């Protein structure tokens, strides 16, 4: 393998990985703070992609489209929270089943509105540059840069007072409530934050792929395994494992074709066998 | 609805007679088809409810069913094995598979289990599709029908009785488990896992028993499914089937271990058919159904008629 190919594969891995990071972080924020397993999270990613794609095709500038896609998925997350997750908060099974049901409704809804065929979203950032004999497109750089900026914004948000309250809620809900933190408000913030991250991830990646109604399904599998391998509610773990998975998938796809998914899952199985509670996870003493 | 013991027995007897002579009363093959599918699905749903009883929310149902179906189909088409040999081997094979999978995922705790069972059900489908020896994405065709001597099971009533036998057999297995000491331990785990662990009940062990039992029975069910439909495609055993299984369980009522799954599967197989909901809209129907059930009928259909019984069967 020559150097040029290596750089290309690494770059592709970083692009995929940064999207994984955004989606997995969104899920892990909701899961860590509200302890809600939102299995429709991957479909929020799909919705983000469709909203962004629709706006771009209508001729809205890309920055506005990106913000609107994020806002729209955030509002949908808020609605979903009040309609489904809050009333069912007491029962994990009902939450999980209802969130998968919500996902099915979202897929069918998008199929009814946008049709079943794939939608190609034109890329806004065009052109490429070369370093030595390695050609790098601006689009990939833009995807990585936007993801990085969003993650940086999340990092600084977690440093504010609200962010500290979110972190306290992650560690111990009851203790946080005793300190005067309004935990149910934190849950709402977490849900909106998670949905916005998923929506932005979808919007960022969609020019690179095509918009499909079922694009949320494969990524659901990926982000669930990232969250489990990284450990429950660990944002740092989600970032590292997400990028790692992206790189493994990129190299796996080049060398093994469509078997890359199986290879990735064998890695996941080994990691879970060695670390049942995740790499950065804390073993919950509670048996539930 | 309170009935005296005498009346209950009469009702039970009449019910059994109805179930046994149903093919002679209603001759519609369409109804038979729905009942066969519902009967097969109810076995898997019983497994789901057993796992739910030990506080494991599992999305492995379709994986187990697919494992059983594929073992059976491969044995029958590649090695020419008889259905009566395929059936137990599919059950055993799926039992071993569920033990292996269970030892990987049960230790990680409640939430990990949910997520990873979902992940591995997709991995299973992908693996079936990618490996060309197993038929790839096109699946396996030409699975022979079961036969006793020269009598071949072709007609719907014949399959109906076969399904009835298998479903009652599996129901008896589960009933025996619930009545045994293992069942007592399961109930203890259901009521409070922490407390159960503190009095020396090995959570992982008893959860594993429930998981492997579900695997074994679902394997049997999958084998019969393969020999009923005569062709298999990997996509049949995707996440969505597991989700339907859990919806059936919720519709029937999660506190009723045998009646709940049977009622739930019959309702959820029959409703879309008779409401003329096509395959295209079935996911949206199921999605709305589960949200309604979750929000308004948490005790399920049986729970409307019956308060929680002592045994819950």
Coil/strand/helix, residue B278: coil
Give tens-digit pLDDT for A41-75: 999 999 999 999 999 989 888 889 999 999 999 99
Phi-psi region of B221 (alpha: psi -120 to 50; beta: other; left: phi over 0): alpha
Across chain B, mean pLDDT equals 87
pLDDT for residue A135:
79
Tokens of B268: 């959820």
- pLDDT reading at A125 higher than 80: no
Strand partners, B148: B151
Q: How confident is the model at residue A283 (pLDDT cuts 50, 70, 90)?
A: low
If one counts every other C-beta atom within 10 angstroms of the C-beta of residue A116, the result is 11
A220 CB neighbours in chain B (<8 A) are 118
Distance (Å, rounded) from C-alpha B248 to C-alpha A32? 29
CB contact under 8 A, A265 and B250: no
Distance (Å, rounded) from C-alpha A206 to C-alpha A211? 6
Please report which helix (H) or strand (E) contains residue B148, including its range. strand B147-148
Give tens-digit pLDDT for B255-299: 888 888 999 999 888 888 888 777 777 778 888 888 888 778 777
Residue A266, min C-alpha distance to chain B (Å)? 9
* Nearest-5° Cα angle at A285, A183 to A87: 35
* Partner-chain residue, chosen from A39, A94, A259, that has the shortest CB–CB distance to B130: A259
* Cβ-count burial A15-41 (b if 16+ within 10 Å, e if not): bbbbbbbbbbbbbbbbbbbbbbbbbbb
What percent of chain B clears pLDDT 70, i.e. is strictly above it?
A: 96
Q: Which residue has the tokens 């060309």?
A: B132
Give tens-digit pLDDT for B211-264: 999 999 999 999 999 999 988 999 889 888 888 898 888 888 888 888 889 999
If you measure CA to CA, which chain B residue comes closest to A32?
Answer: B111
Q: How confident is the model at residue A25 (pLDDT cuts 50, 70, 90)?
A: very high
Q: Residue ranges of the domains in chain B?
A: 30-236
- pLDDT reading at B300 higher than 80: no
Higher local confidence (pLDDT), B111 or B88 = B88
Tokens of B10: 């009469």
CB contact under 8 A, A87 and B116: no
Average pLDDT over residues B51-68: 92
The structure's pTM equals 0.87
């Amino acid at each position: 393998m020559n150097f040029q190919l290596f750089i290309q594969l690494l770059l592709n891995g970083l692009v995929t990985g940064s999207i994984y990071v955004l989606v997995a972080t969104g899920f892990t924020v909701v899961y860590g703070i509200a302890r809600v397993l939102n299995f429709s999270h991957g479909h929020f990613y799909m919705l983000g992609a469709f909203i962004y794609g629709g706006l771009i095709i209508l001729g809205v500038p890309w920055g506005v489209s990106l913000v609107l896609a994020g806002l729209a998925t955030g509002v949908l997350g808020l609605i979903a929270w009040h309609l489904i997750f809050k009333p069912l908060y007491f029962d994990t099974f009902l939450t999980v089943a209802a969130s998968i049901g919500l996902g099915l409704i979202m897929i069918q809804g998008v199929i009814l509105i946008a049709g079943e065929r794939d939608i190609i979203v034109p890329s806004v950032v065009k052109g490429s540059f070369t370093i030595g004999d390695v050609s790098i497109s601006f689009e990939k750089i833009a995807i990585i840069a936007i993801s990085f900026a969003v993650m940086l914004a999340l990092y600084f948000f977690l440093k504010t007072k609200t962010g500290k309250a979110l972190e306290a809620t992650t560690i111990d809900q009851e203790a946080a409530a005793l300190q005067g933190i309004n935990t149910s408000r934190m849950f709402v913030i977490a849900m909106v934050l998670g949905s916005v991250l998923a929506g932005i991830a979808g919007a960022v990646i969609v020019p690179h792929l095509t918009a499909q109604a079922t694009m949320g399904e494969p990524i659901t599998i990926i982000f669930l395994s990232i969250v489990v391998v990284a450990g429950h509610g660990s944002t740092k773990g989600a970032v590292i494992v997400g990028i790692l998975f992206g790189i493994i998938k990129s190299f796996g796809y080049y060398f093994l074709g469509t078997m890359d998914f199986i290879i990735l899952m064998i890695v996941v199985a080994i990691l879970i066998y060695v670390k049942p509670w995740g790499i950065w996870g804390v073993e919950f003493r509670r048996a539930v | 609805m309170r009935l005296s013991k005498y009346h209950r027995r009469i009702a039970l007897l009449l019910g059994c007679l109805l179930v046994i002579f149903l093919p002679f009363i209603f001759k519609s093959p369409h109804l038979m088809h729905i009942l066969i599918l519902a009967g097969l699905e109810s076995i898997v749903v019983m497994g789901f409810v057993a796992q739910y009883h030990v506080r494991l929310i599992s999305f492995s149902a379709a994986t187990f069913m697919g494992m059983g179906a594929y073992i059976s189909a491969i044995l029958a088409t590649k090695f020419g094995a008889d259905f009566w040999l395929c059936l137990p081997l599919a059950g055993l094979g799926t039992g071993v598979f569920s033990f292996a999978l269970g030892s990987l995922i049960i230790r990680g705790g409640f939430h990990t289990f949910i997520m990873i069972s979902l992940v591995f059900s997709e991995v299973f489908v992908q693996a079936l599709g990618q490996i060309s020896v197993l038929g790839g994405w096109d699946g396996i065709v030409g699975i022979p029908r079961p036969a006793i001597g020269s009598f071949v099971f072709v007609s719907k009533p014949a399959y109906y009785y076969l399904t009835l036998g298998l479903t009652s057999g599996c129901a008896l297995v589960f009933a025996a488990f619930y009545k045994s000491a293992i069942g007592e331990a399961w109930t203890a785990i259901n009521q409070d896992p922490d407390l159960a662990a503190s009095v020396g009940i090995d959570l992982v062990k008893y959860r594993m028993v429930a998981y492997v039992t579900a695997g074994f029975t679902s394997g049997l069910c999958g084998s019969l499914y393969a020999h009923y439909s005569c062709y298999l495609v990997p996509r049949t055993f995707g996440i969505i089937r597991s989700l339907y299984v859990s919806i059936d369980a919720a519709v029937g009522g999660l506190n009723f271990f045998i009646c709940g799954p049977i009622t739930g599967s019959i309702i959820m197989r029959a409703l879309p058919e008779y409401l003329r909901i096509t395959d295209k809209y079935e996911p949206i129907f199921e999605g709305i159904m589960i949200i309604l059930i979750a929000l308004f009928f948490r005790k399920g259909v049986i729970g409307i008629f019956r308060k929680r019984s002592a045994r819950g069967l």
